[in-house]
Structure formats: structure tokens, C-alpha cells
Amino acid sequence: MSRSGADNRRWRRDRERREPRLGAMLGASLALHLVLLLLVGGHLLPRRHQPRPPAYVVDLVNLPVKAPQAGRPDGRAKKTVRKKSAPSAKKLSRPRPKPKPRPQPQPKKVVTRKKAGTKPAVKRTRPQAKAAATRPAAAKAPTRAEQERLERRLEMLRLKRQLAALAASDTRAGENAPLGEEKGRGSEQGVGYRLWLQQAYKEAWALSRYQVGRLDLEAEVEVVYDARGFLRDYSFRRKSGDRLFDDSIARAIRSVDRLEPPPGKTLRETIVFNLKDLMD
């Protein structure tokens, strides 16, 4: 089994060719070290983001109304204004590319783009459907695996269509929805007294977590406002048992002593105070 001299030379040459050169080795080493450094430095690995503390939305814009319309409950009127101005900004930037489309090729480009945008969707659906429909006839014996694959694709397409239909029928209030309440049925623009009261009491309620021994406290209070919006009465339906907690609630209620504008009729609401959001 001994090799001849020529074989040996060839074998050595081949071996030399196969062995990486020093430069390549150094390059690979450098690349590896770079990747390691990036990994250790946290550039490649996803970083954990600490959850932000809850931000409370305080509605200073909207006045309470009796019959709020359907829409957004928060007063993000500014955002809509910005949105209106955004298209104008786009319009400002568009004139620059517009001169380009004026020459003839532009419309064509638009057409081609449209084609490019629409075709794949059509192509994806129809040919597959066609294939699914024709193959069994054209091919002698389509395998079971192929059939199953096609069926799966069809099923996926069906699901996608269903999802698109569901997304189109989403009735949730969007950015441009009118101001009101999500479940509002009335005609007035603004939030109802209940939402307004919730914000007002939350704002007025001052209590430190270090003040109470437990965070599982809860109290229920009934408040009565007259037609002119003045606080007429409040009473604890259920006390928490912690004097400091109950006192802080009483202070908060007393500080929301007037509703503006007046509700026009006697308002009687039950309010539950607890510390659920402070619990870990």
C-alpha cells in the first residue's frame, strides 16, 4: 500500500491547498473575536427592558357630558391635529419627486408598482388553487403528501382571508375616532361623568404605600351630587378597616366637592377604592 513519489507529491500539494493560510486564520480569528465582543457587549443579544411605571392619563381638556357619543375616551385631540398636519408635510416633500414622475416613464412605474403590489397576492392564491384543482387531473397519481401540502396552503389562505375580514370589521375606536366613550351611544362630544369622576377622584386621592400596612385594602363609598354639581352627601358602604386608608378616601371625596359643568340632575355613584395597581 505504499505510495509512489508522484502520488506523495500530489498528496502534499493537495494537503497544502486544503490547509488554511495564516492570513485566513488570522482573519477568521479576528472575526470570531469581534463577534464575541459584540455578544459580550450586548449589541447582538436582545436587551431586557424594564417595564415602565404606570403613567396616568389626566384629562384636562374634556368636560363631562351627559350623553357621550361613541369614540375615544381620552382627549387626544392634539394627535389628530398633528395627523392632519402630517399629510401636509408629506405634500411639501412630494413636490420634489413630482417633477420626476411628470416625464412619461413615471406613470408606467406606478403601474408596474401596482402590478407588483397586486400580482403576488393574486398569483399566490390562484395558481395554488388552480394547482390544487388541476394537478389531480393532470398528474397521474398525486402523492398524499402533495395533496396534504396543498390542502394546508388552501387552509392557510382561507384563514388569512378570514383574519383580513375580521380586521376590516374592527369597530374599536382608532386615533381618528371622535371624542367620546367607547361604549357611548349619545350625541355629545366628550366623556361621561363616570369617567370624569374616576379621573378626578384618582387625582385627588393621596396615599403612600408606606402609610398602610397592607395593600389588599378596599372600601366602597356612595357619593351624591346635586343637579348643580355640588357634593351633597357621601357615605361608606363598606370600610376597609384601616383608619388611614379610609381617612385618605374621605379626604379625596371632600376635595372633589363640585362637578363642572353641573350634571343637571342628581348624580348618585358608587365608588370602589383599592390598591390593586400597587400590588406586585
Partner 1 sequence: MRRLLLPILLLLTMVGNAPAAIEISAPGQQEIPLALVAPLPLAEPRPALAGEFARVLRDDLVFSGLFRLIDARAFLADAGRMGLVSIDVDFAEWRLLGAEMLIKGGYRVRGEQLIVEARLFDVRAGRLLDGRRYVGRTGDVRRIAHAFADQVLKTLTGRFGPFSSRIAFIGDQTGHKELYLMDVDGHNPIRITAHRSIVLNPDFSADGRRILFTSYRDGNTNLYQKEIYTGRERRISSRKGLNVGGRFSPVDDRIALTLSKDGNPEIYLLSATGKIVERLTRHWGIDIDPSWSPDGDELVFVSNRRGNPHLFIKAPGGEVRRLTLNGKYNATPAWSPTGDRIAFSRKENGVFDIYTIRPDGSDERRLTFGPGNKEHPRWSPDGRFLVYSSDASGRKEIFLMRSDGTGQWKISPPGGNCNHPAWSPRF
Cβ closer to partner 1: 29 or 211? 211
**CA distances (Å), 273 to each of 58, 72, 207, in order?**
18, 25, 11
Nearest approach, Cβ of residue 279 and partner 1 (Å): 9
Cβ closer to partner 1: 150 or 217? 217
Q: Which residues pair with 258 in a beta bridge?
A: 230
Cβ-based neighbours of 150, under 8 Å, separated by 6 or more: 128, 131, 132, 135
Max CA separation in the chain (angstroms): 113
DSSP state of 190: S
Of 113, 254, 258, 265, which lies in the binding site for partner 1, with binding defined by CB under 8 A? 254
Ranges within 164-203 binding partner 1 (CB under 8 A) = 194, 197-198, 201-203
Q: With contact defined as beta carbons under 8 Å apart, do 241 and 273 qualify?
A: no
Q: Does 60 bind partner 1 (CB under 8 A)?
A: no
Of 26, 38, 86, 272, which lies in the binding site for partner 1, with binding defined by CB under 8 A? 272
Cβ closer to partner 1: 124 or 251? 251
Q: Does 251 bind partner 1 (CB under 8 A)?
A: yes
**CA distances (Å), 81 to each of 78, 88, 130, 188, 189, in order?**
5, 11, 48, 20, 17
Cβ closer to partner 1: 146 or 242? 242
Q: Does 270 bind partner 1 (CB under 8 A)?
A: yes
Q: With contact defined as beta carbons under 8 Å apart, do 195 and 179 qualify?
A: no
Q: Does 5 bind partner 1 (CB under 8 A)?
A: no
# binding residues, partner 1 (CB under 8 A): 36
Q: Does 207 bind partner 1 (CB under 8 A)?
A: yes
Cβ-based neighbours of 275, under 8 Å, separated by 6 or more: 207, 209, 212, 215, 216, 217
Q: Does 224 bind partner 1 (CB under 8 A)?
A: no
Q: CA-to-CA distance for 199 and 271, rounded, in angstroms?
A: 12
Nearest approach, Cβ of residue 262 and partner 1 (Å): 19
Q: Does 231 bind partner 1 (CB under 8 A)?
A: no
251 φψ region: left (φ > 0), alpha (ψ -120 to 50), beta (else): alpha
Cβ closer to partner 1: 84 or 214? 214
Of 157, 204, 224, 231, which lies in the binding site for partner 1, with binding defined by CB under 8 A? 204
Task: Indicate the SS3 state at residue 159.
Answer: helix
Tell how strand 218-225 and strand 231-238 pair up: antiparallel
Q: Which range, of 4-12, 95-103, 162-170, 242-250, touches partner 1 by CB under 8 A?
A: 242-250
Nearest approach, Cβ of residue 203 and partner 1 (Å): 4
Interacting residue ranges for partner 1, rule: CB under 8 A: 54, 56, 58, 194, 197-198, 201-212, 220, 243-244, 248, 251-252, 254-255, 269-278
